[in-house]
Amino acid sequence: MTDLDKSGAAAEVLTGGDTRGAGPRRRRARPGARGRGVPLPLLVPALVGLAFLLLPLIALLVRAPWRSLPEQLTSPEVWQALQLSLICATAATAVSLVLGVPLAWLLARTEFPGRGFVRALVTLPLVLPPVVGGVALLLALGRNGVVGQLLDSWFGITLPFTTAGVVVAESFVAMPFLVISVEGTLRAADPRFEEAATTLGASRFTAFRRVTLPLIMPGIAAGAVLAWARALGEFGATITFAGNFPGRTQTMPLAVYLALQNDPAAAIALSLVLLAVSIAVLAGLRDRWMTAS
């Protein structure tokens, strides 16, 4: 349950509130808006929490090698890694959307035995240490893996050490975010709209496409943004499953990790680039969705 609450809250933040998305956007009526002041027992931990989250970022900025930053960032490898990161994270988000939204719908709208167990399984990649996730992917989809063997012998497809492998690894860790978020939105959405559509002769799929999807769009968007952010920062599963080769599988987090080995200053510079890009994208998306929904 807490997972749902969390994802609901995350969706709330990312879409600027109103995850129900039913009809036109309402102004949020704040409960307790009558008592203007913020109660101290809430304010103090809130500020401590904010400081705790922001302090490492500020430390990065303080210690950043500003003077050598330009030359650090003009190296082609950095742009290669950044480009690869953005492409792969976006592709992983697309994969998560295509597979994750139907899965979320299945979990929220159908009854089948063991549904709670399946829901728990879906969140498994959130709990798995990323490196273990990478090893599990190797054992499943590697050249010698349970399914990977068949892929290799039937289609000649091998995923490890390829860009597709990066997308697979990132999708594996990012999709649960999307599923949880969308499922929470679906549960909160009123099923009577769909029922009305079906009584008017729409098939269940048409009802989903024409009624449910527009209804839960904000939740999907929030989930997609979460998944994208998670995919962008993915390190453990990627380096284990897809290895590290510049231009093919070396995403930004891998480049940062390896730069840290001999040149911490460069690593900080790279981290800043990644941060700047992700903040720009997230902020841009949020505005889009706030005005759109």
Applying CB under 8 A, which residues contact other proteins?
138-139, 142-144, 160-161, 239-240, 242-246, 249, 257-262, 264
- 74 or 261: whose CB is closer to other proteins? 261
In angstroms, the CA 52 to CA 219 distance is: 27
Q: What are phi and psi of 289, to 5 degrees?
A: -70, -30
- The whole-angstrom distance between residue 132's C-alpha and the CA centroid of its chain comes to 19
Tell me the closest approach of the beta carbon of residue 239 to other proteins, in angstroms: 6
Would you say how long the chain is, in residues?
293
Tell me the closest approach of the beta carbon of residue 162 to other proteins, in angstroms: 9
- 20 or 143: whose CB is closer to other proteins? 143
Cβ atoms of 188 and 139 closer than 8 Å: no
- 137 or 225: whose CB is closer to other proteins? 137
* SS3 call for 35: coil
Tell me the closest approach of the beta carbon of residue 271 to other proteins, in angstroms: 14
8-state DSSP, 210: I
In angstroms, the CA 293 to CA 279 distance is: 21
- 158 or 198: whose CB is closer to other proteins? 158
- 18 or 152: whose CB is closer to other proteins? 152
Tell me the closest approach of the beta carbon of residue 254 to other proteins, in angstroms: 8
- 199 or 262: whose CB is closer to other proteins? 262
Cβ atoms of 2 and 126 closer than 8 Å: no
Tell me the closest approach of the beta carbon of residue 268 to other proteins, in angstroms: 12
| Burial of residue 28, with CB atoms counted within 10 A of its CB: 0-12 exposed, 13-18 middle, 19 or more buried | exposed
CA-to-CA dists, residue 87 to 18, 224, 249, angstroms: 30, 15, 11
8-state DSSP, 2: H
Q: Which amino acid is at 217?
A: M
Tell me the closest approach of the beta carbon of residue 144 to other proteins, in angstroms: 4
